[in-house]
Chain A
Amino acid sequence: MPHIPLDEKLPGITGILNYRLDTALPIRELTHILLRGNSTLTQGERELIATIVSHGNECKFCTAAHTAAADLLLGEKETTDSIKKDIALSSVSDKMKALLIIAKAVQVSGKNVTSEMIDQAKKAGATDLEIHDTVFIAALFSWYNRMVDGLASVTPTDPAFYSRLATILAEKGYLSSENRYAGLTK
């Protein structure tokens, strides 16, 4: 049961964002720019960063939601599976490997990012902006994971729920809209 009363129809982060709208607004804008805005990283790659951080924090809701979003955007399920097992052995590019390693370090502490990790990313072709956005997305999901678990919001167990949520995230992004979650309950 959640630690505070949340809308029962809105599990995970959705009910938390609806609980206090004035703080949810800048978070939604920030998330939309970082995950859906113009970038040299694909939307699928950016969802991988969200996935690896949520997985590291063992946040079941966020991990399931962003794995499903990444799978949908990438059109396959192998990549999300492989990065959770071992980034070095996964099927992503060398640049993405280096960025995911930075994201994993940020998940533990910002101080864990070393100059060697940054050099490795730059050597693999990462730009300053890509490194910036990777650190920011990792920090942002350190926020989401703590909100979801810190308030003990409901985590649905039906995989179909996450497919429905992933469709919303892929089609509409992260900004608020009327009846945004209409497709969530079926």
Chain B
Amino acid sequence: MAHIQVPEGVPGIRSLVMFRPETGQYLYELAQVLLRGESPLSEAERELIAAYVSSHNDCVFCMSSHAAAARYLFKDKKQLVDFVLTDYQSAPISNKLKALLNIAGKVQVNGKNVLPEDVEEARRQGAIDRDIHDTVLLAATFSMFNRYVDGLASFTPTDPQAYEEMGVRLGEKGYALPHNS
């Protein structure tokens, strides 16, 4: 049960946004512009970084929903999502994405853990300033979302089907504010 009185049966962040729509609207706006707006990283790559950070924070709701969105967006390459979540070093992804996941993993623990050599390695693999900025921004944002969702013990569905549907919705429609109706 959630720590505060949120709408019953509504999962994760959606229930919190319905509890306080005034702040919720900006959370969704941030998610939409960060995950669907203009970036050198593809939407699928950004969802993958979101799922990776959420998995390290052990936030089951965020990890499952963003992994599902990443699978939907990677289409016929959707298996790589689970490879990355298990061991990204041996996953069939570019060296650039591996270097960015290394940075995201460090930000998840503490921003200070990102060293100049981590950034140099990413640049050597072709990352530009915006790739680095957006990776840190994604990792920081999901460190926030994960804490918000778990800190209030919001409802986490256990049925994999529920997440698959969320993944399709997020892939097709992006981050649209839920309504209190």
Instruction: Give me the interface of A with B, judged by CB distance under 8 Å.
Output: 1, 3-5, 19-20, 22-23, 25-27, 29-30, 33-34, 37, 57-59, 102, 105-106, 109-111, 113, 115, 118, 128-129, 131-133, 135-136, 138-140, 142-152
Task: Let me know if B133 and A132 touch, CB within 8 A.
Answer: no
How many chain B residues touch A (Cβ–Cβ < 8 Å)?
48
In the complex, how many angstroms separate the beta carbon of B46 from the nearest chain A beta carbon?
A: 12
User: B37 near A: Cβ within 8 Å?
Assistant: yes
In the complex, how many angstroms separate the beta carbon of A6 from the nearest chain B beta carbon?
A: 9
Question: Can you list 17 A-B contacts (CB < 8 A)?
Answer: A3-B114, A3-B136, A22-B33, A29-B26, A109-B58, A110-B57, A110-B59, A110-B151, A111-B58, A128-B4, A128-B19, A136-B148, A142-B147, A145-B111, A150-B111, A151-B133, A151-B136
Task: Let me know if A26 and B148 touch, CB within 8 A.
Answer: no
| Assembly CA distance A26 to B147 (angstroms) | 18
Which residue of chain B has the shortest Cβ distance to A146 in the bound complex? B140
Interface residues in B11-39 by Cβ distance below 8 A to A read 16, 19-20, 22-23, 26-27, 29-30, 33-34, 37-38
Chain A residues, Cβ within 8 Å of B55: none
- Pairs of residues from A and B, 6 with the lowest C-beta to C-beta distance, nearest first: A149-B111, A110-B150, A150-B111, A110-B151, A146-B140, A139-B147
Task: Let me know if A135 and B137 touch, CB within 8 A.
Answer: no
A-contact 0/1 string along B108-142, CB 8 Å cutoff: 00111010100100000000010011101101110
Chain A residues, Cβ within 8 Å of B107: 146, 150
